Amino acid sequence: MAHGHSRNYTTLTDATIAELEGKIPTLLAAMEMQRRRIADVERAAIKPLTPLAAAVLDLTTQIQNEAVGEVEVALAALAPAFAKLIAVDQIQAATLGKDFPVPAGSVVPFKGFMVVQGTAKGIHERFRPAELEDRALLVAADAISAPIISQIKGK
């Protein structure tokens, strides 16, 4: 023991325990009252934010909708190029078939439809314009490939 002091440890007596247990209902009631006060303060703080939140949400929704429209327009602009890539597949399939000899020095184009479809499907549906749907791209590709196929086949 430092400096000759001794500590006196006592155990809780039944009377002390009973006294503390008697205070529990009062302390619980005080805690509940504090919780209510905190809830009142939180509600009071939220009320002024409600008009601000509405205004901010309206503004940001407007900005977001404009941006989505701009993205859709930009992506729709890809449709003609995507249709050309698909038309290449159509021209090769209609004139050469699936299996054909590749002459030395010639390069076989990649499968446009697979690349286009993978790219278009990778665009979130919120942004994907109707022009990039498979059916629309195939119709546009047909318009490109049909006259070329006819010319190659001599029709």
Residue-averaged pLDDT of the chain? 88
Banded pLDDT at 30 (limits 50, 70, 90): confident
Tokens matching residue 27: 């302390």
Mind giving me the DSSP string for 92-149?
HHHHH-SS----TT--PPP-HHHHHHHHHHHS-TTT--GGGSHHHHHHHHHHHHHHHH
Q: What is the pLDDT of residues 48-66, one digit of tens each?
A: 677 888 899 999 999 999 9
Output the CA angle 139-140-144, nearest 5 degrees. Answer: 115
Pick 112 or 98 by higher pLDDT. 112
pLDDT of residue 3: 56
DSSP 155: -
Q: In degrees to the nearest 10, what's the CA dihedral of 95, 100, 103, 109?
A: 70
Selection from 41-45, 48-52, 99-103 with the highest mean pLDDT: 99-103
